């Protein structure tokens, strides 16, 4: 998918290796990636960067991923910003909670294939 400008993505994830992996994959595919290793820094980064999309892990030590998601959704400036969950929580109930109850834009389970990650992000951004 070709975008008129490089989409800005904020990735909130406490695992530095996962941040590096996602950054490499996405930057090779013409995305700009900003990252935060904790929830509050991530929320501050979202406010500063005003991203086109947010990638969010659920298991973050300082703030639970769902708490971060709720704060994003309750902020007038970002309530329409697409959010994709990237998590190791792969049970069907977790996916249902994310997609049907919380209404995240997508739910990706770790491990994932790099091509799948890029395609799903591109699809969500194209919907906006």
Q: What is the pLDDT of residues 26-71, one digit of tens each?
A: 999 999 999 999 999 999 999 999 999 999 998 888 888 889 999 9
Locate tokens 């695992």: which residue? 15
15 touches 39 (CB < 8 A): no
Confidence of residue 87 (pLDDT cuts 50, 70, 90): confident
Confidence of residue 86 (pLDDT cuts 50, 70, 90): very high
The backbone region for 94, taken as left when phi is positive above 0, alpha when psi lies in -120 to 50, beta otherwise, is alpha
Mean pLDDT of 80-92: 84
Helix (H) or strand (E) holding 106: strand 106-109
SS3 category, 34 = strand
- What the chain holds in terms of domains, given with CATH numbers, is 8-127 (3.40.50.2300)
SS3 category, 52 = coil
Residue 75 has pLDDT above 90, yes or no: yes
Q: Provide the pLDDT for residue 56.
A: 96
Side-chain-side CA neighbours of 79 within 13 Å: the count stands at 3
CA 61, 67, 72 angle in degrees (round to 5)?
120
Q: Provide the pLDDT for residue 68.
A: 94
Kindly tell me the burial class for residue 108, based on how many C-beta atoms sit within 10 Å of its own C-beta (0-12, 13-18, 19 or more): buried
Global confidence as pTM: 0.90
Q: Indicate the angle between helix axes 39-49 and 65-73, nearest 10 degrees.
A: 30
């Amino acid at each position: 998918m070709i975008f008129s400008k490089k989409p800005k993505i904020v990735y909130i994830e406490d695992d530095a290796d996962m941040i590096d992996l996602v950054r490499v994959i996405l930057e090779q595919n013409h995305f700009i990636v900003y990252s935060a290793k904790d929830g509050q820094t991530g929320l501050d980064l979202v406010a500063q960067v005003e991203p086109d999309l947010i990638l969010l892990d659920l298991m973050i030590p300082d703030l639970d991923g769902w708490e971060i998601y709720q704060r994003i959704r309750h902020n007038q400036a970002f309530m329409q910003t697409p959010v994709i969950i990237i998590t190791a929580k792969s049970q069907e109930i977790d996916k249902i909670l994310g997609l049907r109850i919380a209404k995240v834009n997508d739910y990706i389970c770790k491990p994932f294939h790099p091509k799948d990650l890029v395609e799903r992000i591109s699809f969500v951004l194209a919907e906006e």
